[in-house]
């Protein structure tokens, strides 16, 4: 596959944009319950370049496709990867913009399918590039909202807004504390003496889409049974007592996870932040049942390491990566020790090795 726009299309692009993946430090499966999240951007980014091609159709080149895709706005492409781009084009047209035929090149080093939001990075980079090319008057929050809709309406996963807000607004230097109901947000420093490490378990997230949609439906069912607009509004754990066992555990995860995020942004020490990460993992594993055995094994190795403050599965779950808060300047040592014990299917993703 062509490594650059020029190589693929033989001319320079008219617009370029990029957007990062994200790692969620705390607050998973809270966003579609109107709750709190705490992501940071990762160094890996997706880059999109575009040029008007004089026609009405779209030619997409991306290494992830393994071949070029061609499509028009009247019918979605068959490849899942191309559907994210298609969704963005359609939504921008629905916003009232005239979208001309385009040559589009995508290059990305955001790891795919591990819980680091490669799809949000693609959506946000595509929308940023369209904003630049077409002079769209959409701000970064609107970009995130359009990206979320592209994923729900054209890729079939009923996601919340965490990933797109993180890709659109977070930095790698600090975490972004976001209230997903009001979209109020503020940057939060990482705990002093802590460094973020992300290791992939190599466990495929094969059931991620169906498991995710099912969890979301269970949360909505629990909120309905409690007579609440969403699980964000659960006042205390006692309020969950009347729920059937399974729904009670799902709701308990959401309630305790929101509380953990609120505690984590109070300027607590790295050790206390790490303890919240460990609790979050246990809650996702036992109450939310959105972890996987290989991820649990990786998390346990991380949690036990003397230079680790805490660790948890990150993102949508059902496989994928763990994020850890480790002692400053310890990431390489921890990664080497833990991966040696875990096995060759594991790999270090952040900091980039």
Q: Which residues bind ligand GAF (CB under 6 A)?
A: 24, 28-29, 31-32, 159-160, 162-163, 315-316
Which residue, 24 or 299, has its beta carbon nearer to ligand GAF? 24
Q: How far apart are CA 112 and CA 47, in angstroms?
A: 14
What percent of the chain is helix, strand and coil (3-state, nearest 5)? 45, 20, 35
- Asked if 315 and 116 touch (Cβ cutoff 8 Å), the reply is yes
- To ligand GAF, the closest distance from the beta carbon of 70 in angstroms equals 28
- To ligand GAF, the closest distance from the beta carbon of 311 in angstroms equals 16
- Asked if 120 and 166 touch (Cβ cutoff 8 Å), the reply is yes
- Asked if 187 and 301 touch (Cβ cutoff 8 Å), the reply is no
Which residue, 166 or 338, has its beta carbon nearer to ligand GAF? 166
- To ligand GAF, the closest distance from the beta carbon of 216 in angstroms equals 8
Q: Which residues are catalytic?
A: 163
Alpha helices in the chain (DSSP H): 5-9, 80-94, 118-134, 140-155, 162-169, 208-226, 245-264, 270-286, 293-304, 331-342
H/E run at residue 73: none
- To ligand GAF, the closest distance from the beta carbon of 61 in angstroms equals 26
- Asked if 108 and 61 touch (Cβ cutoff 8 Å), the reply is no
Q: Is the peptide bond before 191 cis (omega within 30 degrees of 0)?
A: no
- Asked if 103 and 309 touch (Cβ cutoff 8 Å), the reply is no
Q: How far apart are CA 104 and CA 81, in angstroms?
A: 13
φ, ψ dihedrals at 227, nearest 5°:
70, 30
Phi-psi region of 275 (alpha: psi -120 to 50; beta: other; left: phi over 0): alpha
- To ligand GAF, the closest distance from the beta carbon of 144 in angstroms equals 11
297-305, Cβ contacts within 8 angstroms, sequence gap of 24 or more: 297/201, 297/342, 298/199, 298/201, 298/322, 298/338, 298/342, 298/346, 301/338, 301/341, 301/342, 302/197, 302/199, 302/334, 302/338, 303/278, 305/334, 305/337, 305/338
Which residue, 24 or 278, has its beta carbon nearer to ligand GAF? 24
- To ligand GAF, the closest distance from the beta carbon of 8 in angstroms equals 29
- Asked if 201 and 322 touch (Cβ cutoff 8 Å), the reply is yes
Q: Which residues of 120-133 are buried (b: 16+ CB within 10 A; e: fewer)?
A: bbbbbbbbbbbbeb
- To ligand GAF, the closest distance from the beta carbon of 193 in angstroms equals 26
Which residue, 103 or 200, has its beta carbon nearer to ligand GAF? 200
Which residue, 117 or 348, has its beta carbon nearer to ligand GAF? 117
Which residue, 44 or 330, has its beta carbon nearer to ligand GAF? 44
Which residue, 101 or 204, has its beta carbon nearer to ligand GAF? 204
């Amino acid at each position: 596959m062509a490594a650059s726009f020029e190589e693929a299309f033989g001319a320079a692009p008219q617009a370029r944009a990029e957007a990062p993946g994200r790692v969620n430090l705390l607050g998973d499966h809270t966003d579609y319950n109107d709750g709190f999240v705490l992501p940071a951007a990762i160094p890996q980014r997706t880059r999109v370049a575009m040029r008007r091609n004089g026609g009405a159709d779209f030619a997409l080149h991306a290494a992830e496709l393994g071949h070029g895709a061609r499509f028009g706005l009247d019918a979605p492409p068959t490849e899942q990867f191309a559907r994210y781009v298609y969704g963005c084009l359609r939504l921008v047209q629905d916003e009232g913009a005239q979208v001309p035929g385009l040559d589009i090149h995508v290059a990305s080093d955001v790891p795919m399918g591990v819980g680091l939001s490669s799809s949000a990075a693609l959506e946000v980079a595509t929308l940023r590039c369209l904003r630049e090319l077409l002079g769209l008057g959409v701000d970064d929050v609107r970009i995130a909202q359009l990206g979320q809709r592209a994923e729900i309406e054209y890729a079939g996963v009923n996601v919340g807004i965490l990933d797109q807000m993180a890709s659109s607004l977070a930095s790698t230097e600090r975490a972004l504390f976001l209230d997903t109901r009001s979209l109020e947000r503020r940057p939060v420093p990482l705990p002093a003496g802590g460094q973020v490490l992300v290791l992939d378990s190599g466990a495929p997230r094969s059931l991620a889409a169906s498991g995710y949609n099912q969890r979301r439906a269970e949360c909505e069912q629990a909120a309905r049974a409690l007579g609440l607009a969403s699980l964000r509004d659960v006042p205390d754990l006692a309020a969950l007592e009347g729920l059937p066992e399974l729904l009670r555990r799902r709701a308990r995860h959401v309630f305790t996870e929101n509380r953990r995020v609120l505690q984590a942004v109070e300027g607590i020490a790295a050790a206390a932040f790490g303890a919240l990460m460990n609790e979050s993992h246990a809650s996702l594993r036992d109450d939310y049942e959105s972890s996987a055995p290989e991820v649990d094994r990786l998390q346990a190795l991380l949690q036990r390491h003397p230079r680790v403050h805490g660790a948890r599965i990150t993102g949508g779950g059902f496989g994928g990566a763990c994020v850890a808060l480790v002692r400053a300047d310890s990431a390489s040592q921890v990664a080497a020790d833990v991966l040696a014990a875990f096995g060759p299917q594991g790999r270090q993703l952040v900091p980039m090795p």
